Amino acid sequence: MYEYLISQVKFNEQGLVPAVAQCCESQEILMMAWMNEESLRQTLLNGEVCYWSRSRQSLWRKGETSGHTQSLKELRLDCDGDTILLRVSQKGSACHTGARTCFFRLYDEGGDIFVSES
């Protein structure tokens, strides 16, 4: 039953597609990571987000060790099918640093970057 969706996704030459995770409650952008076809299938099957780790070259079941899982609430595809939007319910922090979102580094017009929870 995922075949139609999968047929609409344009995986790149490495078989990957970028996936942006957004908190469905706060609307914060939590992180961006990559999916291959298998991780997309796993996500749809289990309702918990699974990415593809490019560094480890393996499936990355988000929160498997930390417990900071992402429950999938909604999945959207962009107009040309080359980016996925995951609307999720995030348990704990999305970022490995312990921050709620990975985008905690805010660029300041003065030229600095400072740490700021959004």
Residue keyed to tokens 């995986």: 11
In the complex with a copy of itself, the residue whose CB is nearer, 64 or 105, is 105
Question: In whole angstroms, what is the distance from residue 60 CA to residue 30 CA?
Answer: 16
C-alpha–C-alpha distance, residues 54 and 78, integer Å: 22
Residue 24 interacting with a copy of itself (CB under 8 A): no
Site for a copy of itself in 60-99 (CB under 8 A): 74-80, 83, 85, 95-97, 99
Question: Is 106 among the residues that bind a copy of itself (CB under 8 A)?
Answer: yes
**What DSSP character marks residue 48?**
B
Is residue 32 near a copy of itself by the rule CB under 8 A? yes
102 near a copy of itself, rule: CB under 8 A: yes
Could you tell me where the beta strands, DSSP code E, fall in the chain? 17-23, 29-35, 50-53, 58-61, 70-77, 84-90, 105-107, 113-115
Residue numbers at the binding site for a copy of itself (CB under 8 A): 1-5, 8, 18, 20, 22, 27-29, 31-32, 74-80, 83, 85, 95-97, 99, 102-107, 110-113, 118
